[in-house]
Amino acid sequence: MRQQELIPHLFRTEFRKITAVLCKLLGVEHIEAAEDLASETFLAALETWTFKGIPENPTAWLYAVAKNKTRNYITRNNVFSTKVTTEIIYSRRDKEEIEIDLSEQNISDSQLQMLFAICHPSIPAEAQVGLALRILCGFGIEEIANAFLTNKETINKRLFRAREKLRTEKIKIELPSAVEINNRLQTVLLTLYLLFNEGYYSESDSNVLREDLCLEAMRLASLLTDNEQTNQPDVNALLSLMCFHASRFDARKGENGEMILYHDQDEKLWNQELITKGAYFLRTASHGDRVSRYHLEANIAYWHTNKTDTKEKWEAILQLYNRLLQIEYSPIAALNRTYALSKANGKKAGIAEAEKLNLVNNHYYFALLGELYTGIDNKKAKTNFKKAFELAKTHPDKQTIQKRIDSL
Amino acid sequence: MRHQDGTKVASPEQIQEWMKQTMDWIGGIAAQNKFVSGTGLPFDDARVVLKQNSNNVVTNGPFGEIKETIGGFITVRAESVEEAVEFAKGCPVLQGEGNSVEVRKIARNDGIH
């Protein structure tokens, strides 16, 4: 790999590892410093490697430089004299050198602990996702801004407030007690779910960015299933859901990057390996006495891995949506449920149910009505598709709707 | 949801069909973000405790001398009693002659309701 490709690649894989370990080492007071130290390490690589060439083991080089920079930072700022880390001074007093542990084990431990710190209930959901992207996924501020369709200043402010909150609440970077793990796990799962959805349904134009977001969410969910304490049914259900969705990455992209809808997708492009993984995690999730929204959504996604239109399939999907909506309402679930109902109970029943939803600001709502009226009352179908077209925000969405109008 | 006659025994297929209709009905309310909670009250293992000749008597099920039984209740978030009545009209229990759905407010413990 040449240097132009190597540094961005290493940045992707190593920045987040270094940051997590340093956050854990320096404590919540110094999160920004940890991010800066990691950034400076890559800056140093860029400068040095340009002149001296790429070292034999680039990752080891990065770790060594990160360690040096961190030691300097600690000495310069007398980090360990602050109150928060007094325990660390005592435990390290007799050691001449501060240990900076960049082993695989400590990296994943630190990332897992950081995940729980970020998902502290006092931090708003938006900021949690932002902070997770920055610290656990190594995303740049601009990339985060793109993912959220906003500007860098907004993201910077959001992250600043989140770090401030971590400090003022004195949140410890550690795996909480078993009871607290259970309390916070739902927030952790929701953050990962949002992170994944941010990628899967993002209105950002960059496909690469979208997939990266999804893969990062899956990687973090795997950290949870790999740890005995956090390997719980809900977590497996969420990871299963992610696998099923991710299996359709290649199939849902057209030649020009446009979105291909589920029933127009080429099943041969579905990733069988991910489908098998999804099924494995779904089976693992089927323990315990609680059915979470992730169980229901993973089951729905499982039914979608078989494209054959059977009554049994749509009936099963309808009942899963019926249950899901009782636990967790969302407009998109309400729309999907109505589509499933029209498949199971007939289009007329579907139209009656759809009219009740009255989601008049949602272009998917009118697209669904258009779809249901097609073949029953094409004039009404057209009116609804036109409303959907007006409300749709992105070019690909408008394109898809236009195709439906043209086919009437 | 009141059933006029709980002694009637339905076939498993019929029960399954009722279940589906009930789930679709509740799902439809939930799809409008108006569902709060639901409690089904199955008849099996039901008991009635009643006072007879100053003794408490326990009988199997509510179906002996009382004709009407309650099959369950759901709580919805309705803007008005009219909206709640519209939801009630969709209840599959109403397919049975004589059955009824009663619409009631929930006491808010504010001394008024």
On chain A, the residues whose CB falls within 8 A of the CB of B30 are 322, 325-326, 329, 334
Rounded average pLDDT over A165-186: 88
> Chain A residue closest to B75 (CA)?
A326
Can you say how many angstroms the Cα of residue A68 is from the centroid of all Cα atoms in its chain? Answer: 32
CA distance B27 to chain A (A): 4
> Chain B residue closest to A345 (CA)?
B24
Total of domains in chain A: 2
Is A380 among the domain residues?
Answer: yes
pLDDT at A347 over 50: yes
Interface residues of B toward A, Cβ cutoff 8 Å, are: 20, 23-24, 26-28, 30-33, 35, 38
Inspect the interface and report whether the beta carbons of A329 and B35 lie closer than 8 Å.
yes
Is A404 among the domain residues?
Answer: yes
**Confidence category of residue A97, pLDDT binned at 50, 70, 90:** low
pLDDT at A82 over 60: no
Among A78, A102, A126, the domain boundary falls at A102
**Confidence category of residue A3, pLDDT binned at 50, 70, 90:** confident
pLDDT at A208 over 70: no
On chain A, the residues whose CB falls within 8 A of the CB of B38 are 326
Range of the domain at A342: 310-408
Is A257 among the domain residues?
Answer: no
Q: Please indicate if any CB of chain B lies within 8 Å of the CB of A299.
A: no
Rounded average pLDDT over A41-69: 92
Q: What mean pLDDT is reported for chain A?
A: 87
Give percent of chain A above pLDDT 70.
Answer: 92
Question: What pLDDT sits at residue A83?
Answer: 45
Question: What pLDDT sits at residue A21?
Answer: 93
In three state form, how does the secondary structure of chain A look? CCHHHHHHHHHHHHHHHHHHHHHHHHCHHHHHHHHHHHHHHHHHHHHHHHHHCCCCCHHHHHHHHHHHHHHHHHHHHCHHHCHHHHHHHHHHCCCCCCCCCCCHHHHHHHHHHHHHHHCCCCCCHHHHHHHHHHHHCCCCHHHHHHHCCCCHHHHHHHHHHHHHHHHHCCCCCCCCCHHHHHHHHHHHHHHHHHHHHHHHCCCCCCHHHHHHHHHHHHHHHHHHHHCCCCCCHHHHHHHHHHHHHHCCCCCCECCCCCECCHHHCCHHHCCHHHHHHHHHHHHHHCCCCCCCHHHHHHHHHHHCCCCCCCHHHHHHHHHHHHHHHHHCCCHHHHHHHHHHHHHHHCHHHHHHHHHHHCCCCCHHHHHHHHHHHCCCCHHHHHHHHHHHHHHCCCHHHHHHHHHHHHHC
Question: What pLDDT sits at residue A397?
Answer: 82
Rounded average pLDDT over A314-335: 95
Q: What tens digit of pLDDT does each residue of A241-293 get?
A: 999 999 998 888 877 766 777 878 899 999 999 999 999 999 999 988 889 99
Higher pLDDT, B55 or A225: A225
Mean pLDDT is highest, among A150-154, A207-211, B53-57, for: A150-154
Of A143, A116, A142, the closest CA to residue A128 belongs to: A116
Rounded average pLDDT over A111-133: 88
Is A185 among the domain residues?
Answer: no
Question: What pLDDT sits at residue A88?
Answer: 53
pLDDT at A94 over 50: no
Q: Which two tokens stand for residue B52?
A: 């007879």
Is A63 among the domain residues?
Answer: yes
**Confidence category of residue A90, pLDDT binned at 50, 70, 90:** very low
Q: What mean pLDDT is reported for chain B?
A: 83
Question: What pLDDT sits at residue A49?
Answer: 92
Kindly indicate whether the domain formed by B2-95 is annotated with CATH number 3.40.630.10.
no
How far is Cα A45 from Cα A58, in angstroms, rounded to an integer? 9
Is A239 among the domain residues?
Answer: no
Q: 3-state class of B44 per DSSP? A: coil
Task: Quote the ipTM score.
Answer: 0.81
pLDDT at B113 over 60: no
Can you say how many angstroms the Cα of residue A84 is from the centroid of all Cα atoms in its chain? Answer: 31
pLDDT at B63 over 70: no
On chain B, the residues whose CB falls within 8 A of the CB of A323 are 23, 27
Identify from A293, A321, A322 which residue to disrupt to test chain B contact, counting B C-beta atoms within 10 A and taking the largest count.
Answer: A322
Among A77, A102, A127, the domain boundary falls at A102
Question: What pLDDT sits at residue B50?
Answer: 80
**Confidence category of residue A334, pLDDT binned at 50, 70, 90:** very high
pLDDT at A361 over 80: yes
pLDDT at B44 over 80: no
Inspect the interface and report whether the beta carbons of B32 and A334 lie closer than 8 Å.
yes
**Confidence category of residue B42, pLDDT binned at 50, 70, 90:** confident
Rounded average pLDDT over A182-199: 85
Higher pLDDT, B34 or B12: B34
Question: What pLDDT sits at residue A93?
Answer: 44
> Chain A residue closest to B31 (CA)?
A334
Please give the model's pTM, rounded to 2 decimal places: 0.82
Inspect the interface and report whether the beta carbons of B35 and A357 lie closer than 8 Å.
no
pLDDT at B66 over 80: no
